Amino acid sequence: MYRYDTFDHQITAERVAQFRDQVRRRLSGELAEEEFRILRLQNGLYMQIHAYMLRIAVPYGLVSAAQLRMFAHIARKYDRGYGHFTTRQNLQFNWLKLQDAPDILADLASVEMHANQTSGNCIRNITCDEFAGVAQDEIVDPRPYAEILRQWSTFHPEFAYLPRKFKISMTGATEDRAAIAVHDIGLSVVKNAQGEVGFRVLVGGGLGRTPIIGAEICDFVPWQHAITYLESIVRVYNEYGRRDNMFKARIKILVKALGIEEFKRQVEADWAFTKNGPCTITPEELQRVAAYFSAPAYEQLPKDNVAVAALQCDNKAFANWMRRNVKAHKVPGYAAVVLSLKKTGIAPGDATAEQLDAAAELAERFSFGELRITHMQNLVLADVRQSDLIDLWQAAKSLGMATPNIGLLTDIICCPGGDFCSLANARSIPLAKAIAERFDNIDFQHDIGEIELNMSGCMNACGHHHVGHIGILGVDKDGTEWNQVSIGGAQGNTASLGKVIGRSFTFAQIPEVIARLLQVYVRERFADERFIDTVRRIGLEPFKDFVYATPVEEDAKLAGAEYALLEKGTPYDTPYYSPRF
């Protein structure tokens, strides 16, 4: 993976010093909260219900064992012993004190990490295909380009105060696993007829209040021009994006208002000034960065492993895990393994300090010391010898990270929701827990097959509910929490936005609503058709009709304290209160 040189170290250290001084000035009162707010956000620091939340950037989701151990250290020393992996491949800590933030950033810098631009109206951490470098369908490894763009976007002086946040995602494979169509800019690395590498560029996709699938602005931008072309897109957005209404400030609204052709014309008029200029990426720089992502020392191994095949026949639990959590690898004899952070009863995407340390050890033992964080909020060991799969399965099982549910009903994407987030209308984590408990039976889940259930506690859509096969959105009605259900959304190559099935439900009705949706699917499915394919084939109506045909009973046990809001109150006494209090 990429390693910092002296320049990266210096820039990161100067950022830590800058933020340390800003925190000092905030604590002394020299800096007012309204001035400090944007500065802390650009360092990933939010003020949530209970405490400060720090979102740490994991560039393109790639993390080393040493970095994971640093997460574990931070969880123990400064937080409550756990962290939360997000849909943008980052890690969040939820219980921090403002005065500790500079030390945490210094700790992170010591392992070549940071929290730069993980919030605020700037270019955010660039996300990437979690199987980059190992996927069988990969055309070009996107990570060197993602790193080059990370450096370009880091502290870009012109783009720190954009109309709104700006998210870039990237894939180098034929199948899009990076949700590029729902990002402000989505890049897919492609080769043209001459075999040259370039980018197909989508612009103006996004979720949130106004979900839109991105439009193609250019079908082939040669890789050398990635910086200048993206810079022109962001410049036109900075100049012309709306600033009068924050709900209409994302680039998607500008692209929609101008039309993609006019937007493209403006971008390319700007690009004419910089194309072939000094910001053109040189082959030497690409080579320098790409060298960090060269393949590890793979062994020559047989394509299949006899012991694994035998255990798959004998042991159903192992067979289930092989089916769901083990993915094909481009090198014979290797596999990519997904460690599930979706065990029933655990908040989706959460990992304890012990799990983080243990995952670091697994990475060192089985996967060249590296892991990836997926936008589905799981971890990936990308380079596992098939002959190690049985040992790895046993180790992961003992850590609670071998639930064979990847891509199944309980592999829920879930935002922090009303338990933590000051924006949420509804609780996401307890609802995910209730759903996971209701459908915990793994045989049932395997029978239902591939399905994506995504939940967001508010329309900001951190849980990507619009592109869930089933999406749940927390809405506020007169101060109480309700949940809107949609079906038919999807991410990937055939991305689509879900449609709301009808009026909202209470927290305690949702598991039954999902059960009814699944009953319609089981009744209507044809052969091994997936839920999403059935929805696309027969439409919304049969689902809607059945769900609303009879009153949906509330599940009485979901009213209990176990599902109520987490303990309230700040864990410390400072005057920097959360907006909720």
Of 175, 407, 144, 404, whose CA–CA distance to 281 is shortest?
Answer: 144
Residue 282 or 493: the one with the smaller Cβ distance to another protein is 282
Of 309, 384, 319, 345, whose CA–CA distance to 134 is shortest?
Answer: 384
User: Among residues 24, 33, 77, 158, which is the contact residue for another protein, using CB under 8 A?
Assistant: 158
Q: Is 285 one of the binding residues for another protein (CB under 8 A)?
A: yes
Q: What's the CA gap between 484 and 470, in Å, rounded?
A: 10
Q: Is 276 one of the binding residues for another protein (CB under 8 A)?
A: no
Q: Is 22 one of the binding residues for another protein (CB under 8 A)?
A: yes
Phi and psi at 241, nearest 5°, equal -60, 150
Stretch that binds another protein, among 153-161, 167-175, 371-379, 405-413 (CB under 8 A): 153-161
User: Among residues 60, 71, 131, 159, which is the contact residue for another protein, using CB under 8 A?
Assistant: 159
Q: Which long-range contacts (CB under 8 A, 24 or more apart) does 275-280 make?
A: 275/225, 275/228, 275/229, 276/225, 277/228, 279/152, 279/227, 279/228, 279/231, 280/224, 280/225, 280/227, 280/228
Stretch that binds another protein, among 238-246, 325-333, 349-357, 371-379 (CB under 8 A): 238-246
Residue 16 or 558: the one with the smaller Cβ distance to another protein is 16
Residue 154 or 456: the one with the smaller Cβ distance to another protein is 154
Q: Is 33 one of the binding residues for another protein (CB under 8 A)?
A: no
Q: Is 217 one of the binding residues for another protein (CB under 8 A)?
A: no
Q: What's the CA gap between 70 and 220, in Å, rounded?
A: 40
- Count Cβ neighbours within 10 Å for each residue of 233-255 and write b for 16 or more, e otherwise: bbbbbbeebbeeeeebbbbbbbb
Stretch that binds another protein, among 126-134, 217-225, 272-280, 541-549 (CB under 8 A): 272-280
Region of 348 on the Ramachandran plot (φ > 0 left; ψ -120 to 50 alpha; else beta): beta
| Rg of the chain taking only CA atoms, in angstroms | 23
Site for another protein in 120-149 (CB under 8 A): 121
Angle, vertex CA 144, rays to CA 264 and CA 158, nearest 5: 50
Residue 157 CB, shortest distance to another protein, in Å, is: 4
Report DSSP state, residue 507.
Answer: G
Q: Is 156 one of the binding residues for another protein (CB under 8 A)?
A: yes
- Count Cβ neighbours within 10 Å for each residue of 538-557 and write b for 16 or more, e otherwise: eebeebbebbeeeebebbee
User: Among residues 54, 65, 162, 335, which is the contact residue for another protein, using CB under 8 A?
Assistant: 162
Residue 109 CB, shortest distance to another protein, in Å, is: 14
Residue 230 or 392: the one with the smaller Cβ distance to another protein is 230
Q: Is 229 one of the binding residues for another protein (CB under 8 A)?
A: no
Q: What's the CA gap between 360 and 379, in Å, rounded?
A: 11
User: Among residues 29, 195, 261, 278, which is the contact residue for another protein, using CB under 8 A?
Assistant: 278
Of 403, 433, 450, 427, whose CA–CA distance to 511 is shortest?
Answer: 433
User: Among residues 291, 295, 309, 565, which is the contact residue for another protein, using CB under 8 A?
Assistant: 291
Stretch that binds another protein, among 73-81, 288-296, 328-336, 425-433 (CB under 8 A): 288-296
Q: Is 268 one of the binding residues for another protein (CB under 8 A)?
A: no
Residue 170 CB, shortest distance to another protein, in Å, is: 18
Structure tokens at 462: 């951190």
Total residue count of the chain as it appears in this document:
581
User: Among residues 155, 546, 572, 576, which is the contact residue for another protein, using CB under 8 A?
Assistant: 155
Q: What's the CA gap between 490 and 210, in Å, rounded?
A: 16
Q: Is 227 one of the binding residues for another protein (CB under 8 A)?
A: yes
Residue 349 CB, shortest distance to another protein, in Å, is: 30
Count of residues near another protein by CB under 8 A: 45
Mark 35-64 with x for binding to another protein (rule: CB under 8 A) and - for no binding.
x--xx-------------------------
Residue 434 CB, shortest distance to another protein, in Å, is: 40
Q: What's the CA gap between 343 and 348, in Å, rounded?
A: 8
Q: Is 10 one of the binding residues for another protein (CB under 8 A)?
A: yes
Stretch that binds another protein, among 27-35, 402-410, 431-439, 533-541 (CB under 8 A): 27-35
Q: Is 6 one of the binding residues for another protein (CB under 8 A)?
A: yes
Q: Which long-range contacts (CB under 8 A, 24 or more apart) does 363-369 make?
A: 363/64, 363/65, 363/68, 364/65, 365/395, 366/337, 366/391, 366/392, 367/337, 368/296, 368/297, 369/64, 369/65, 369/66
**Order of strands across the sheet that contains 91-96:** 45-47, 52-56, 91-96, 82-85, 350-352
Q: Which residue do the tokens 């870039």 mark?
A: 168
User: Among residues 273, 444, 577, 581, which is the contact residue for another protein, using CB under 8 A?
Assistant: 273
User: Where does residue 561 rank: exposed (0-12), middle (13-18), buried (19+ CB within 10 A)?
Assistant: exposed
Stretch that binds another protein, among 126-134, 157-165, 473-481, 521-529 (CB under 8 A): 157-165
Residue 273 CB, shortest distance to another protein, in Å, is: 6
Structure tokens at 579: 């907006």
Q: Is 15 one of the binding residues for another protein (CB under 8 A)?
A: yes
- Answer for the pair 139, 177: CB distance below 8 angstroms, yes or no: no
User: Among residues 20, 73, 200, 243, which is the contact residue for another protein, using CB under 8 A?
Assistant: 243
Q: What residue ranges bind another protein (CB under 8 A)?
A: 3-7, 10-11, 14-15, 18, 22, 30-31, 35, 38-39, 121, 151-152, 154-163, 227, 235, 238-239, 243, 273, 278-279, 281-282, 284-285, 288, 291-292, 294
